[in-house]
Chains A and B, each alone.
Chain A
Amino acid sequence: MSRESAARRFAVAAAALSAAAAALVGLALLAGTSPFDAVRALAEGAAGSRAALGETLARATALVLTAVGASLAFRAGVLNIGLEGQFLAGAVAAAAVGPLLAGSPLAARAGLLAAAALAGALWVVPAAYLEARRGVPEVLSTILLNLVAAAAVSGLVRGALQDPGGDYPQSRALPDAVRLAPLAAGSRVTAAILIALALALFATLLLEWTPFGLKLRATGLAPAAARAIGLPHARLRFLAFAASGALAGLAGGLEVLAVTGRLYDPFTAGAGYTGIAAALLGGSHPLAAALSAVLFAALGAGSSAMQRDTGVPGALATIVPGVLVLAVLAARARLARKAA
């Protein structure tokens, strides 16, 4: 994954772009709109104004973090498909702990985010345990944990965490002082996006420039060799697993802290799965994954405007990432077979 030749990368990118273009055109036509109008509305909604850009970046915050988390896990060979649930765990922790924290806003934010990251990492533990002791594939257990987390959120916002000020399925709002102020007036983007991008950078440095990162990469690239060579295979995998959970949890916490201010049901809008798609598109490189995540966020921001203006359903923003990943997977597999 790390040493694709330029020619291969180009071929894969070309495949991805043509697939995405075909999907966009096809979907627009199905909706009875000219593809040009649809793409224009999409672009305007994503980046056509400061507000639009703000929306894109606001959505990107969570996606970048889950994408980076997925990248770390995948590079270590851990199939963590449970980022969705780990995201929710973090959001729950933030919504539960947030209203209770006193002291300076900075301390409150730090405490809240730490709780969120911890919750995300802890949500990984049942899956890691089942894999290590009971041989249950982590793909399966993490997916089931997603379902349990979604159910838990559903219950908590109507029960233990419910805002006593009304009868809506939502949690108590965080105090305004704690919440992050928007970077630009009228948009939802906050400094959180900078935290997310910084973490993407940090993850890249970790993987490529530290001894730990080298060992992690070796474990993911050649698990049998890693074991035979004498790497602490199981421990490395667990650390990557927990780190990815922590990042997803942090994403959930930031979503509550910076974007929504409270927890409600449903909460994720697929942040976990879309993050995985971004990681796959980016070849599990944290920075490339982050970039793909921003792209998907742009799609998401643009698609609501597109739906409003042209009637093309916004679900396009879920289809296109899936199509992109399928194209990339197919292209890479094809090239790998040709090379072999």
Chain B
Amino acid sequence: MTGFLAITLLLAAPLLLAAAGELLLERAGSIQIGLEGTMLIGAFTAFAAARSGAGPHAALLAAAFAGLLAGAAFAAFAVAGRADPILVGTAWNLVAAGGTAFSYRLLAGATGSVLEVRTLPPLAFGLPAAVLAAFFVPVAVEVFLARTRPGLALVAAGENPLALAATGGSVVAVRTAASVAAGALGALGGALLVLTVSPTFVEGVTAGRGFLALALVVFARWKPLRLVPGALLVAGATALQYRLQAGGSRIPYAVFLALPGLLALFALAATRGRGGAPKALGTPAP
């Protein structure tokens, strides 16, 4: 596999995981704009686990677990607590960014040196198993939503929560479960970043990917399979940046940095934003 394609897939995997989790949550009717913070939590947990001797796969599991807890905490505020999820998400980003920076400093001390961790071993095409598996997650989400009973309940929670309640379901329970899953997936996305792309933790290692993942969900019109082309597009832009930079290109650095964000904005404009959004997105549970 050519270097460019491999790097694109590598960069797309964290985005895909985080976006898939967020898609589940939004289809259920909630929204977590603090996804960036959850990814940071996952990234730091993986880093900390790896530094304390765990192997890369164990670090992934630790991150997933931290993500589960994060998702549960978010749901406590924004679902069961009925606080506005957007506002909770904003505060969440502060707590997570500050919390991971705080913890990193305690872990790493005041030294400025970079602490490396062991990366995930490659399985095929030079890519680790976890990265390859990430591409199957959207498929799993699609099957879950389209073919299973709990999936239908989740769709109902996002489209017509009163109907779910009328047939005896609990909107709070469904949305909380979705949040827990979204937390785990987001954290795994962050963990992948630390265990593959940049084998260390720095403040801001996620570099806005959590926000890009939010845009990907809208761009995919909340349909899981459509997350893949979007993630590849954004990741491709970043891979292009690395390639052209390495090749001594004269195109300003900033264009590449801005490219993912600009691409996401244009994609949103093209797909008319709200079309296909779950009807009850962002509304409190009845």
Taking beta carbons and an 8 Å cutoff, which residues of A are in contact with B?
27, 30-31, 79, 81, 126, 130-131, 134-137, 139-141, 143-148, 150-152, 154-156, 158-159, 270, 273-274, 276-277, 280, 313, 315-323, 325-326, 329-330, 332-334, 336-337
Query: Given the complex of chains A and B, what is the CA–CA distance between A274 and B97 in angstroms?
Result: 12
Taking CB atoms and an 8 Å cut-off, the chain B residues in 48-68 that contact chain A are none
Q: Which residues on the A side are within 8 Å of B253 (C-beta)? A: 154-155, 158-159
Q: B243 within 8 Å of A by Cβ?
A: no
A146 to chain B, nearest CB (A): 8
Q: B21 within 8 Å of A by Cβ?
A: no
Contact of B252 among A136, A143, A159 (CB under 8 A): A159
User: B94–A318 contact, CB under 8 A?
Assistant: yes
Name 13 interchain pairs, CB-CB below 8 A, sorted by A: A31-B102, A81-B90, A136-B273, A137-B273, A141-B265, A146-B208, A154-B253, A280-B87, A280-B91, A319-B94, A319-B99, A326-B95, A333-B84
Query: Given the complex of chains A and B, what is the CA–CA distance between A323 and B138 in angstroms?
Result: 33
B205 to chain A, nearest CB (A): 14
Question: B167-185 vs A: 1/0 string, CB under 8 Å?
Answer: 0000000000000000000
User: A319–B98 contact, CB under 8 A?
Assistant: yes
Query: Given the complex of chains A and B, what is the CA–CA distance between A30 and B84 in angstroms?
Result: 30
Q: How many CB-defined contacts (below 8 Å) exist between A and B?
A: 165
Q: B211 within 8 Å of A by Cβ?
A: yes
User: A318–B87 contact, CB under 8 A?
Assistant: no
Q: B134 within 8 Å of A by Cβ?
A: no
Question: B245-286 vs A: 1/0 string, CB under 8 Å?
Answer: 000000011110110111011001100111100000000000
Interface majority SS (helix, strand, loop, mixed), chain A = helix
Q: Which residues on the B side are within 8 Å of A329 (C-beta)? A: 77, 81, 83-84, 87-88, 91
Assuming the A-B contacts A135-B274, A326-B88, A333-B82, are A315 and B265 also in contact, with contact meaning beta carbons closer than 8 angstroms in the complex?
no
Q: B233 within 8 Å of A by Cβ?
A: no
Q: Which residues on the A side are within 8 Å of B88 (C-beta)? A: 326, 329
Contact of B208 among A147, A152, A273, A334 (CB under 8 A): A147
Q: B119 within 8 Å of A by Cβ?
A: no
Q: B193 within 8 Å of A by Cβ?
A: no
Query: Given the complex of chains A and B, what is the CA–CA distance between A139 and B269 in angstroms?
Result: 14
Taking beta carbons and an 8 Å cutoff, which residues of B are in contact with A?
33, 77, 81-84, 86-88, 90-99, 101-102, 105-106, 208, 211-212, 214-215, 218, 252-255, 257-258, 260-262, 264-265, 268-269, 272-275
Q: Which residues on the A side are within 8 Å of B264 (C-beta)? A: 144
Q: Which residues on the A side are within 8 Å of B275 (C-beta)? A: 135
Q: Which residues on the A side are within 8 Å of B255 (C-beta)? A: 155
User: B218–A315 contact, CB under 8 A?
Assistant: no
User: A326–B265 contact, CB under 8 A?
Assistant: no
Query: Given the complex of chains A and B, what is the CA–CA distance between A143 and B36 in angstroms?
Result: 11
Query: Given the complex of chains A and B, what is the CA–CA distance between A273 and B89 in angstroms?
Result: 11
Interface majority SS (helix, strand, loop, mixed), chain B = helix
Q: In the complex, given contacts A146-B208, A326-B91, what are 17 additional A-B residue pairs having Cβ atoms less than 8 angstroms apart? A: A79-B86, A81-B90, A140-B218, A140-B268, A143-B33, A152-B254, A155-B253, A155-B255, A273-B93, A276-B90, A315-B99, A315-B101, A319-B94, A322-B93, A322-B95, A325-B87, A330-B77
The 7 lowest CB-CB distance pairs between A and B, nearest first, are A155-B254, A318-B98, A322-B94, A136-B273, A151-B257, A322-B95, A319-B98
Q: Which residues on the A side are within 8 Å of B94 (C-beta)? A: 270, 273-274, 277, 318-319, 321-322, 325
B161 to chain A, nearest CB (A): 16
B175 to chain A, nearest CB (A): 15
User: B254–A151 contact, CB under 8 A?
Assistant: yes
B244 to chain A, nearest CB (A): 14
Query: Given the complex of chains A and B, what is the CA–CA distance between A319 and B99 in angstroms?
Result: 6
Query: Given the complex of chains A and B, what is the CA–CA distance between A154 and B212 in angstroms?
Result: 18
Query: Given the complex of chains A and B, what is the CA–CA distance between A322 and B97 in angstroms?
Result: 10
Q: Which residues on the A side are within 8 Å of B273 (C-beta)? A: 130-131, 134-137, 140
User: A313–B274 contact, CB under 8 A?
Assistant: no
Query: Given the complex of chains A and B, what is the CA–CA distance between A332 and B102 in angstroms?
Result: 28
**Which among A27, A79, A318, A330 has the greatest number of chain B C-beta atoms within 10 A?**
A318
User: B92–A326 contact, CB under 8 A?
Assistant: yes
Q: Which residues on the B side are within 8 Å of A325 (C-beta)? A: 87, 90-91, 94
Query: Given the complex of chains A and B, what is the CA–CA distance between A329 and B73 in angstroms?
Result: 14
A286 to chain B, nearest CB (A): 17
Contact of A148 among B81, B258, B274 (CB under 8 A): B258
User: B77–A143 contact, CB under 8 A?
Assistant: no
Q: Which residues on the A side are within 8 Å of B97 (C-beta)? A: 270, 315, 318
User: A315–B105 contact, CB under 8 A?
Assistant: yes
User: B33–A81 contact, CB under 8 A?
Assistant: yes
The chain A residue sitting closest to B95, CB to CB, is A322
User: B214–A143 contact, CB under 8 A?
Assistant: yes
The chain A residue sitting closest to B274, CB to CB, is A135
User: A136–B218 contact, CB under 8 A?
Assistant: yes
